[in-house]
Amino acid sequence: MSLLFVNACLREGSQTERLARMWLDRRAYDGEVSELSLSKLDVDPLDAVGPSPVAAYSAGVAAGDFGHPLFSYALEFAQADEVLIAAPMWNYSVPAKLHAYLELVCSQGVTFDVDETGAYVSLCHIKALTFVTTAGGAAVDPLDDHCFGYVRTLARQFWHVPQVDCVAAWGLSAPGADVGALLAQALER
């Protein structure tokens, strides 16, 4: 069993990272845990600037050749049995670096494919995906946000992950907030 921890916490002392590590400690995962810290990686959105990563990406997908470094994240993701994504909610969405990473993970022929009817077919091994997030402000409806809602849609539509959960703590910047208690409560829900 392997767990991929995608750490999209970009600030030192991140409460989201603290909550994710609490989740990992409580979980006492008995398999291999590999952490991918996006703040330390050169993950950029696919675009046509420079040596045209979008052209190399498109050519690789069309040819079924996934040897280009652009596909390394998708190949690692597809092999995980479980995924933990930790990302703070920024402006009701995920940090841009996580969005860019997920663009690369959503690689046709690596993490998903399309059958003859046009339906998405998962090529992943993932049995469970947990999304950990925090926000300084009040709670939002997870069906309306572009944070967990976005990740949940990818997990269900592309990768057919049977168990998709969210661990969220809100109101961490409210005057007098007991951050430790709010994080502990998030783990109990």
Strands 2-7 and 82-86: parallel
> What's the pLDDT at 104?
94
**Is the pLDDT score of 88 beyond 90?**
yes
The CA-based angle 142-168-86, given to 5 degrees, is 105
Whichever domain contains 62, its CATH number is 3.40.50.360
**Is the pLDDT score of 113 beyond 80?**
yes
- The helix/strand/coil state of 101 is helix
pLDDT in tens, 24-70: 999 877 889 999 999 999 888 887 666 668 888 899 999 999 999 99
pTM assigned to the model = 0.93
Domains: count for the chain: 1
pLDDT in tens, 175-189: 999 999 999 999 998
Q: Which domain holds residue 108?
A: 2-188
**Which whole number is the average pLDDT over 97-121?**
96
Lookup: tokens for 159: 């990768």
Question: Which phi and psi angles does 52 have, rounded to 5°?
Answer: 55, 70
C-beta contacts of 25-30 below 8 A and 24+ residues apart: 26/187, 29/1, 29/3, 29/82, 30/1
